[in-house]
Structures are given as structure tokens and as C-alpha cells.
Amino acid sequence: MNSISAFSFLLYTLYLLTVASAATFNIRNNCPYVVWAAAVPVGGGKRLNPGETWPINVPRGTSKARIWARTNCQFDASGRGSCQTGDCQGLLECKAYGSPPNTLAEFGVGLGQHADLDLIDISNINGFNVPMEFSSNSPTCSRVIKCTADIVGQCPKELKAPGGCNNPCTVYKTDKYCCYSGNCEPTNFSRYFKERCPDAYSYPKDDKTSLFTCPTGTDYKVIFCP
């Protein structure tokens, strides 16, 4: 085997290893309206008509990742515009987190002491705009997380926002609600979210009932309006 073919073989082998260690996320829009799905740091963004699916491959070692739905968006041919909820600096293909209110699927792939765990959660810390399911799509894990309550329709008047329901941190920006000090407790507003979506984060210290794991190698589905 000459040096060129050996190098090509090595590149191909590395490519196969990368693909094998990636997790596939199938993002589906079950809402009766268009959403503009967003995924950071892998994926970017894509318009999803009702019933459409968008698969993305997330490499092992990815952390602090988010998937969310944007609503009532308008973009020009260059991919610039705006969304009523979940807007990411006016870009169709997001490069940064979205603006609240937006329901979040948060995850890290291939983490833990032995890089053998995925961390997954649904969060309302940025508020809520679209009902969501975040679940395993593999037999290796049976975890299903959902937040499907009518949070927007029942939203407290202090938290109401066009197209969604804000988390109190967005509105008040105080340590009581944002936990800037790292020392905070549930509030009446956080309980509003927790009572309706018990598996989802309602405030920053909600780890015990809201953070879940699956073995690395699991594939996932994120469904808007499950």
C-alpha cells in the first residue's frame, strides 16, 4: 500500500469512527403550524412544515447543546430575519442560543468520568413556547421526557409574552429567580412550571428531578407538539 492510499485509508477509518460515535437526533414537527427548528452547537437551523423531520448527527464529546423551536419567523433569501420566539440573532441557521421564551431540549453526548453517559433534559428556565418530547430512540435506554401542558394558555399575567410564557428570571432578573449566587429555592413562579411539567427544569437548581442519563451510543428524538 503506497503512502497516498494508506493516508486515504486512515482518513476513511477516522471518518467511520466519527460516524459510529455520533448520536443521531431526529427532530420532528408534529405541530399544526410551521416551526423553525434550531440546534446549537451542531445543526444550525431549518424550517419544518407540519410532519417534517430533520436528522442531525451530534459528535461524541458535545456539551451544553440545545434544540428548540422558533415560531412566527420570517427570513429573506440570505437566511436573515427574525422570529417571535426563540430568535437567534436574526439567523435562520443559528450560531448562538435563542432568545426567551423557548422550550429547550438540552444535552451532552459522551460525557461522565468514562465518557460513557449522555446527559439529557427539557428545560423551562428560558420559558416555554412549544410543547416538547425528548426521548430515546434506541433500545439501550427507555427514557422519555415530556412537557406538553397548556403553559402558554394558563401563563401568569406577570410572565405572559407574545407567543409564549416567560420564566421569571427573564422578567425580574434577580437572584431569587435567576440564582446568580448559586443558592436559590423554588418560587411560586417556578412551581407553576413544575406542577405542569414535573420532568422539566423549572429553576436552575432543579437537577434532582430534571436531569437524566442514557448510555452513550443512544439515538434520540425531539418532537414538537407530541
Could you report the per-residue pLDDT of 51-80, keeping only the tens digit for each?
Answer: 999 999 999 999 999 999 999 999 999 999
pTM recorded for the entire structure: 0.90
Check residue 114 and give its pLDDT: 59
Dist CA 164 CA 155 (whole Å): 8
The mean pLDDT value for 215-223 works out to: 96
pLDDT at 195 over 60: yes
Q: In the predicted model, is pLDDT for residue 115 greater than 80?
A: no
d(Cα 105, Cα 226) in Å, to the nearest integer? 14
Q: How many CA atoms lie within 13 A of 41 on its CB side?
A: 8
* pLDDT for position 5: 52
**CA proximity to 184, closest of 176, 174, 172:** 176
And the C-alpha cell for 172?
425580574
Single-letter amino acid code for the residue at 192: Y
Provide long-range contacts, Cβ within 8 A and 24+ apart, for 141-147: 141/214, 141/215, 141/218, 143/212, 143/213, 143/214, 145/120, 145/121, 145/199, 145/200, 145/212, 146/122, 146/197, 146/199, 146/226, 147/103, 147/122, 147/196, 147/197, 147/199, 147/200
Give the pLDDT score at 6.
44
Alpha carbons 181 and 157: distance in angstroms, whole number: 27
Between CA 199 and CA 193 the distance in angstroms is 10
163: left (phi over 0), alpha (psi -120 to 50) or beta: left
Hey, which residues does 133 pair with through a beta bridge?
146, 223
